[in-house]
Amino acid sequence: MLKYFTMTVDALILCAILVGLLRGFAKSALGRVGIIIANIGTGAGLCLACYMSYMKNATNKVDTSLWNYRIFWTGIIAAGAFIVLSLVLLLVRPLHKGKAGLILRIAVSLCVLVSIALSMLYAMPDVIAYPYTILLTDMTALSTDYLFKMIGILLGIILMLLYEMAMYRGMQRLKVWQALIVLDLGLMANGLRWAGKIIQVMVSKRMILPTDPDFDRYFDLAVLSANNDISFTYIMIGVSFIVPVVIWVLSFLQKEPYSNPAGKRKIKKKYRVNRRWAVLGICCTAMMLVSIFVIEPYTNRPVVLSPVEDCRVQDGNVYVTFEQVEDGHLHRFEYKTPNGKHVRFIVIKKPNSQSYGIGLDACDICGETGYYERDGQVVCKLCDVVMNINTIGFKGGCNPIVVPYSIENGNIVLPVKGLIEHENEFKA
């Protein structure tokens, strides 16, 4: 559950911040037209993300890297146009009225629409597909494990929705110039991040060839961008944190005039509500930092596989005695092939049974990452799927790859030939 919570937060955090800042600015600076266009952008982004999620997971017609390349370029252009047009609209007073002002407002609103839609199109398809991709390994939506993963995803989505709402409401409570500064900082940080990703795609897709005289420079920029991607997340969190802090401070500094006690109560209520939105923003920021620095390292802590145990190789067979695996725990063995490959296999006695679950320490989906025991359950190290111990030894899902074996005189006997057939599943 916690793993999928952090995955959802990581995937949506920048999108939630940007969409909240953009929608809030549209409402406060551009009025009714701005918020209508921003809501259209939100709806369009959601629909496009759902369609992209389907295309990526149900067809082979989508090259994700090239699609992201187009999204990045279009997003940078839209963000740049927004920054220029909004500054013109804010600083050039004569353009506030008349047809020129209306055209500028519409252009700025369209930039907001495009930026919102592209942010959602980039961030959301994988999250929308989580229930489907998890089902590929879990094989059933009726298991407790699947339910817990869905709860983790749902909690992550709820947290991101709350933070987006806190940014949206918070931007409306800032002065227009304050909101514009925060939004421009956010757009510039996201633009730099996307520019780095553009270079990564161009290098990986050989749009920039090694024969290019500046290839080494581009390659270094691509590596620098990839290694410091999380830094942009920290920058965006810092930018977004400005909003609740400024609202909180201003709620104590403002001294609006009032003519009667009722007016005073109304003013106090307004700033009390402002502080509540600020508190929500601060709490959501704190939760995101806890997710990044506490929960994520905990869920992604390296799992150490149990050591390989001794087994006997004789007459073209590998022998494992019943005594070695009688305790009901997971046991790991290996056979070294003539080509030097270490073919690992696992054995576990099935609960309330005299039979054994036997298979390679690898599966068709996750490869040779292996399995480990956690709280009496067998778990895939890569995807964290819990195996049904009674189905180990059968094909399907993330179950271990099946190998032939027999039972002879208190021994589990695996033919060496059956293990060598799968040596290519293991790198070494």
Report the DSSP beta bridge partners of residue 386: 379
* pLDDT tens profile 275-308: 888 899 999 999 989 998 998 888 877 777 888 8
Question: What is the pLDDT, as a whole number, of residue 210?
Answer: 79
Dihedral-angle region of residue 346 (phi above 0 means left; psi in -120 to 50 means alpha; beta otherwise): beta
Question: What is the pLDDT, as a whole number, of residue 15?
Answer: 93
* pLDDT tens profile 119-169: 999 999 989 988 887 776 665 667 777 888 889 999 999 999 999 999 999
Confidence category of residue 21, pLDDT binned at 50, 70, 90: very high
| Domains of the chain with bracketed CATH | 2-299 (no CATH), 312-425 (2.102.10.10)
Query: 348 and 405 in contact (C-beta within 8 Å)?
Result: no
Is the pLDDT assigned to residue 41 strictly greater than 90?
A: yes
Q: Across the beta sheet with 356-360, what order do the strands follow? A: 331-336, 342-349, 356-360
Question: What is the pLDDT, as a whole number, of residue 9?
Answer: 92
Question: What is the pLDDT, as a whole number, of residue 97?
Answer: 67
More confident residue, 263 or 180: 180
Query: If you count them, how many residues does the chain have?
Result: 428
217-223-228-229 Cα dihedral, nearest 10 degrees = 110
3-state SS, residue 336:
strand
The Cα 424–Cα 32 span in angstroms is 62
Q: Which of 33-37, 195-199, 252-256 has the lowest mean pLDDT?
A: 252-256
Confidence category of residue 51, pLDDT binned at 50, 70, 90: very high
Query: 49 and 124 in contact (C-beta within 8 Å)?
Result: yes
Is the pLDDT assigned to residue 60 strictly greater than 90?
A: no
Is the pLDDT assigned to residue 16 strictly greater than 90?
A: yes
What percent of the chain is predicted at pLDDT more than 90?
24
The two structure tokens encoding residue 21: 């800042």
Instruction: Give pTM, 2 decimals.
Output: 0.76
Question: What is the pLDDT, as a whole number, of residue 403?
Answer: 86
Question: What is the pLDDT, as a whole number, of residue 95?
Answer: 61
